[in-house]
A and B are shown apart, each in its own frame.
Chain A
Amino acid sequence: MSPTRVPVVDGWFSSEGGEFRLLGTGCRGCGAVYFPREDVFCRAPGCAGSELAEVPLSRRGRVWSYTDGRYRPPVPYPSGPEGEWRPYTLIAVELAAERMVVLGQGAPGVTVADLAVGMEVEVVPGVLGEEGGRTLTTWHWRPVAGEAS
C-alpha cells in the first residue's frame, strides 16, 4: 500500500479543478493579497478590513533570485538524521499579477545551473519528503518549457 499523501501545510495549495495552484487570501477592502494566507485581519496599515477571501495565486512568475542547500537543514525540515537527504534548489519567484515574491523549492532535477534571474517559471505539485509513513506534498517551481538553458 502506498503511503498516505498529506500536504506539508493545510490550505496553502490545491489541485481542485485539475489545475495546481498556490492559495492565498485577498482583502475585500483594499485588494492586498497574502501568502501564506492571512485569514483574520488585513495587514495593510491603512485598511481596517477583516474579510479575506481565498484566492488562487498566479501560476507563473519570474525568478527574483535562487540558491540551493548543500547541507542538511535542521528539524523541523522533514529529513531526520537517518532519513534520505538530497540537496535541493530554492527559487524566489516574483508572481506575475501580485508582484509578490514567493519562495519555493525547485522541481526535482532543477539545479542552479538551469536558472537565471528573470527566467519564467511555473508552479507544479511536488513532494517534500517522507515522514512517519506519510508522503508530505508541497509546491515546486519549474522553468517554463523553452526557458530552461
Chain B
Amino acid sequence: MKSSIPGAGFPAASLLAALTLAGMANAAAVAVPVVPAAPVLPALAPATITVASFPDLDRAVKTALPLWEKLYPQVKVKLVSLQIDDHHNSMTTALAAGARLPDVMAIDFRYVGSFAESKGMEDLLQAPYGAGQYRDRFVPFTFVQATSSRGTLGAMPADLGPGTLFYRKDLMDKAGIKEAELTASWESYIAAGKKLKAATGTYLLAGASDLADIVIRANLKDGEGIYFGDKGQVLVDSPRFVKAFELAKAARVAGIDARTVAWTGEWAEGFKRDKVASQMMGSWLSGHLAKWLAPESKGQWRVANLPAGALASYGGSFYGIPKKAANKAQAWEFIKFMTVNKDIQLHSLKEIGAFPALKAAYADPMMDEPQAYFGGQKTRLLARETAAKIPVIRVDKFDAVARDIVNMELESVLAQDKDIKTALADAKALITHRARR
C-alpha cells in the first residue's frame, strides 16, 4: 500500500487546528511544517479500533486522539491500558488463544524481541503495509530491534531511549565535583562517588547493578548482540561482562550505591529525599523525574553523556498488528499516525518525554528548547546526539532470560563475594541450558 501521507506528516493546517481545538497546552510550540500540496487522506471504512497499551505510553495515544478523530472521524479508537508486565502477559495469552486481540498492540523494547519472533504478528514489511519504505526515516537500530530472525518486521518503532547520565548539580557543587569527573572514565566516576559520599553523605548511584547493566550494553559494535552472538553463542563470559562486574563490585566496595532496585518504593524515595545524586537511564527518565520521582528538586538536575563515552540504548516502544486483528487497514493507518508523523512524535516528546525514533523530528526547533527542570539546559540536543551514534544491536528472544540470570549472578558477586569468573561461568552454563531451543 502506497502511503498517502506526504513527507513526514499530516496536513499542517488541520494539525494545528486540531491541536488548538483540543485545547492542548502550548500547541503553538509544536512546529508547523511547510504545508504540503493537497494531501489526500486514505479512505478508511468506519470502524472502532482497539489500541492496547500501557502507562505512560498510553498518554501519547490519549493526547494524540483529538487530532486522529479530526482526520478520521469515522474511525473511533478504544484505548485499553494495563500495567506494563500485565499488558504484555495478556497480549501473550491473547496471541496464544488467537482471541480478544487488539487491532494495535503497543510493545515495550524488552518484549519486542519475543513478539517480533512470534508468528502471531503481521509482517509489516509485506503488502499492504510496506513499512520498508520508512526504514531510512528511523534511527537504524530501532528497526533492527523489531526485526525477527526470519527477516519479518513485527512492529514499528515509536520512541527510543538514548542512554543518559542524570545528576544533581547542587550536590556535586557541594562536593566540588565537576561534570568531567563524572564522565571521563568509569574509574573517575567511582572516584567522584567516593568524594561525594565523603562530602555530603549522598550515594552517587541507586544500585551498583545499574552500573553493570550499562557497561554490559554499552559500546557494542554494529550487529553484535548483548548476550548472544550471531550464531546463538552465549557471550556472558566475555571481557565486557568481566569489566561490568568488576566495576559494579568496585562501586559496592566503595559504598557509593544505595543498594536499591529501580522502580521500587525505596528507589523512588532515594531521589525524593536527596539520597541519590545520579542515575543512568534512557533520556525518557526526565519525564518521570519531573512528574513524580523528584519534582521538588526542579532546576537542580542536569544531564550528561554516560561515563567513558558509553553509548547505550535504554528502552523504546513499538506498535504492531496481530495477525488476527479485525481492522488491519485502520490499525496500520493509526500506527503510521503515531510513528511516521513528525508532529505526533514531537507531541509525545513534550507530553511524556518519549524521545522520537523518527529522524525528521530531530530537525525541529523543539530540540533546542531549554528545559526548566534541568536548569535551562538543552537536554534534547544531547539525547539527539546520542541517538544518532547508538549501534545497531542484535536482539534475541532469550535476552530477558539471560538478563535475569546475569542479574542473579551479579547479586552473588556483590553481596556474597562470589568470584566473578565463577559467577560468569555459572551464568553461561545456565543461559546455555535455558536457550536450548
Q: Do A and B come from one complex?
A: no
